[in-house]
Amino acid sequence: MDRFDHHWRLGAVALLCAAALSACGGSDEPATTTSAGTTPAADTTATTSPTTTESPATTTESPAATTEDLPDNGFAGQSANNILAAARTSAQQALSVHVIGEVDDTSFDITFVRDEGSVGSVTVGDTSFEIIAAGDRFFMRGDDAFYEEIGGASLAELIGDRWLAGPVDDPQFSGVAALANVDRLLEESLDPSGGIEKGEATEVDGRPAIALVSDEGTLDVATTGTPLPLRITAQDDRGVMTFEGWDEEFEIPIPGESIDVSELQRGATK
């Protein structure tokens, strides 16, 4: 299964690299996601219903609030470091977040739910796979090109459209843990390696924001409602990552039928 493990890690590493390459904010703190644009089909669901928590901003927004409803939070006039600290704290307190991005030849669309897991899809070059992490288990399903690259046409035929499943902490699939851990994603994406400066006022999907600029890229932080991270843009057009759907309710689907990866591993050693 070495080739499988290697290719799986590419997806996870690309996701984290996208955050690192675009880093401009500083976050030891995590966030989580909401609805992924590609939600894998499933038979049963684990439901999470996040509630909005207090944030460092003067206003705590609700999922139903529109951008027009959100009052100015006062952070546009503060220092870059204060804005960054507020964005990190806000992200840490959020219970869910939807992350969409593209860096180099990798794109991803993943929803994270704190303490529950994640669901979404990753495309690397001409191959793609879906990922679900729920509790201590992961599920993944790739397209034919994905399976053919990691194990040939016979593997693609063997698995078909079924899900693979295994423990999130399986060392053979360490990339899964990265895709399931919103804290790790936010650590990478909101932790600049150098100094930051306050940039110009801007908008992200119609929501007012202020730019924080570093040598690695630009982080746009909301200046209305809770001062949440909204977008990271890497230098040299390497990629863009957007954060949306903060604190929205989301159900993580659990596939009804799957193949345990240990079965494939045992078959490979025979």
pLDDT for the residue numbered 104: 82
Interval 75-91 mean pLDDT:
94
DSSP class of residue 16 equals H
pLDDT for the residue numbered 6: 41
Q: Which of 247, 259, 254 is nearest to 40 (CA)?
A: 254
Rg for the chain (alpha carbons), in Å?
Answer: 19
pLDDT in tens, 25-66: 333 333 332 323 333 334 444 433 333 333 333 334 544 456
**SS3 (DSSP) at 243:** strand
Show me where the domains of the chain are located: 2-52+69-253
| pLDDT interval class at 257 (50, 70, 90) | confident
Q: How many angstroms separate the CA atoms of 25 and 84, rounded? A: 6
Q: Which residues of 174-198 are buried (b: 16+ CB within 10 A; e: fewer)?
A: ebbbbbbbbbbbbbbbbbbeeebeb
pLDDT in tens, 11-28: 444 555 444 333 333 333
pLDDT in tens, 147-193: 888 778 888 888 888 898 989 887 777 677 777 778 888 877 888 77
Q: Which of 106, 149, 146, 102 is nearest to 125 (CA)?
A: 106
pLDDT for the residue numbered 195: 85
pLDDT for the residue numbered 15: 55
**Whether the Cβ atoms of residue 248 and residue 230 lie closer than 8 Å to each other:** no
The predicted model scores a pTM of: 0.76
Q: Which of 132, 92, 129 is nearest to 14 (CA)?
A: 129
pLDDT for the residue numbered 89: 92
Show the tokens assigned to 127.
Answer: 């191959």
Q: How many angstroms separate the CA atoms of 141 and 130, rounded? A: 5
Instruction: Please state which of the four CATH numbers 2.50.20.20, 2.40.50.100, 1.10.3720.10, 1.10.340.30 is assigned to the domain occupying 2-52+69-253.
Output: 2.50.20.20
pLDDT for the residue numbered 67: 62
Whether the predicted pLDDT of 244 surpasses 60: yes
pLDDT for the residue numbered 234: 84
pLDDT for the residue numbered 154: 87
pLDDT for the residue numbered 65: 54
| pLDDT interval class at 217 (50, 70, 90) | confident
